[in-house]
């Protein structure tokens, strides 16, 4: 059995042919935006259990364009990616096919899978507030709506408004409150920024540690990543994790997920892999590796992740959130959020 991990940045031109030469009914070819070290242990476990080997091609970008260029010749059976916008983008491009599976339906709650069975979530992460332990009191921020309160003027850091993570949160806000209220909220958040939006989520926590701002917006799993890094541990230890909610709803979440490609040459084996990855045990392993939350009923997050606190997830179906992304981007650009 052969297993191939390919960095798209160095082997982009030869990727299709490499996978094609190893394709057989006993294999599954995966295009993945998730780093190989995060998924390889599960692929090894699947191979041990079923005899199907897995070839993983790691792509840093351009998954839609690659699948479109390959068309019916594509060796890819399955895609793994992060963020609902990327999952929705592949579906909207007509590059996936539906999967009807009792196992997937049982292990993946309805808000974390496509209503037409085109994509399926595997793990979730919450979009939370990192708050300075020294300068923010418990209970000072409880909702996303609070972020526009003038009391935070000059105290908030965030990444770009056009980044996929920010777009998803704004799209959820838009779905809950409508365009007029969302515009007013975005203007209020912008007025409260300590600096222009910049950097990644970890950079916002570093800015709190450095005293540049008091609260920041980020994904939960970055806390685990920072605590695992000797240089960044001090940043993480300078903040508390706060789970804000939408008024009358829950905490905004996003997913990592999977979809069966439109022309999957090894469809049966690929569906078997999807069902394996969706199983409660596999979800717990996958989630623990990246400090995320498994979503199958009865599963538990890693103890470190649990130590950050509990929350109730917003119950919007993520495909509804994805549908609002173009309108959310338009509002963000209209107020020049990053300017």
174-228 pLDDT tens trace = 999 999 999 999 999 999 999 999 999 999 999 999 999 999 999 999 999 999 9
Within 8 A by CB and 6+ apart from 10, the residues are none
The span from the CA of 38 to the CA of 40, in Å, is: 6
Q: What is the pTM of this model?
A: 0.86
* Cα 117 from Cα 177, distance rounded (Å): 27
Given a cut of 50, whether residue 312 has pLDDT beyond it is yes
Q: Given pLDDT bands bounded at 50, 70 and 90, which one contains residue 18?
A: very low
The pLDDT, as a whole number, for residue 121 is 95
The average pLDDT across 150-157 equals 98
Looking at the predicted structure, is the pLDDT value of residue 235 above 90? Answer: yes
- pLDDT 10s digits, 74-115: 999 999 998 888 899 999 999 999 999 999 999 999 999 999
Of residues 251, 26, 265, the one with CA closest to residue 126: 251
* 55 phi, psi to nearest 5 deg: -105, 120
Question: Tell me, what's the pLDDT at 22?
Answer: 44
Closest listed residue to residue 284, CA positions, set 272, 308, 301: 301
CA distance 200 to 132: 18
Lowest mean pLDDT among 22-36, 107-121, 291-305: 22-36
For residue 35, the model assigns a pLDDT of 82
Phi, psi dihedral angles at 297 (to 5 degrees): -55, 135
Q: Is the dihedral of CA 5, 282, 323, 163 positive or negative?
A: negative
- Supply 121's token pair: 């979530």
Confidence at 36, pLDDT banded by 50, 70, 90: confident
Neighbouring residues of 218: CB distance < 8 A, sequence distance ≥ 6:
127, 128, 130, 159, 201, 202, 204, 205
- Read off the pLDDT of each residue in 247-272 and give the average, rounded to a whole number: 96
């Amino acid at each position: 059995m052969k297993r191939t991990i390919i960095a798209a940045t160095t082997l982009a031109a030869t990727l299709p042919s490499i996978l094609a030469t190893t394709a057989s009914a006993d294999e599954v070819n995966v295009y993945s935006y998730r780093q190989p070290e995060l998924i390889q242990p599960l692929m090894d476990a699947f191979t041990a259990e079923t005899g199907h080997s897995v070839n993983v091609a790691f792509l840093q970008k351009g998954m839609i364009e690659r699948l479109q260029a390959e068309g019916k010749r594509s060796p890819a059976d399955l895609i793994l990616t992060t963020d609902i916008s990327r999952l929705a983008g592949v579906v909207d491009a007509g590059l996936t096919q539906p999967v009807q599976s009792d196992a997937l339906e049982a292990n993946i709650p309805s808000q974390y899978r496509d209503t037409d069975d085109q994509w399926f979530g595997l793990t979730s992460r919450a979009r939370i507030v990192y708050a300075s332990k020294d300068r923010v009191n418990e209970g000072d921020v409880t909702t996303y709506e609070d972020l526009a309160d003038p009391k935070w003027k000059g105290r908030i850091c965030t990444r770009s408004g056009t980044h996929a993570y920010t777009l998803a949160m704004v799209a959820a806000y838009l779905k809950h409150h409508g365009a007029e209220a969302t515009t007013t909220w975005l203007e209020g958040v912008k007025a409260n920024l300590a600096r222009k939006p910049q950097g990644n989520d970890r950079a916002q926590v570093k800015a709190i540690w450095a005293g540049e701002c008091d609260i920041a917006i980020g994904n939960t799993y970055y806390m685990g990543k920072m605590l695992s890094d000797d240089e960044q541990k001090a940043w993480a230890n300078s903040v508390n994790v706060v789970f804000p909610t939408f008024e009358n709803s829950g905490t905004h979440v996003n997913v990592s997920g999977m979809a069966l490609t439109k022309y999957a040459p090894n469809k049966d084996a690929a569906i078997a892999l999807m069902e394996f990855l969706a199983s409660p045990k596999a979800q717990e392993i996958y989630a623990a590796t990246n400090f995320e939350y498994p979503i199958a009923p009865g599963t538990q997050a890693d103890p470190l992740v649990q130590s950050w606190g509990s929350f109730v997830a917003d119950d919007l179906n993520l495909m509804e959130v994805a549908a609002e992304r173009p309108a959310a981007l338009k509002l963000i650009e209209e107020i020049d959020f990053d300017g």
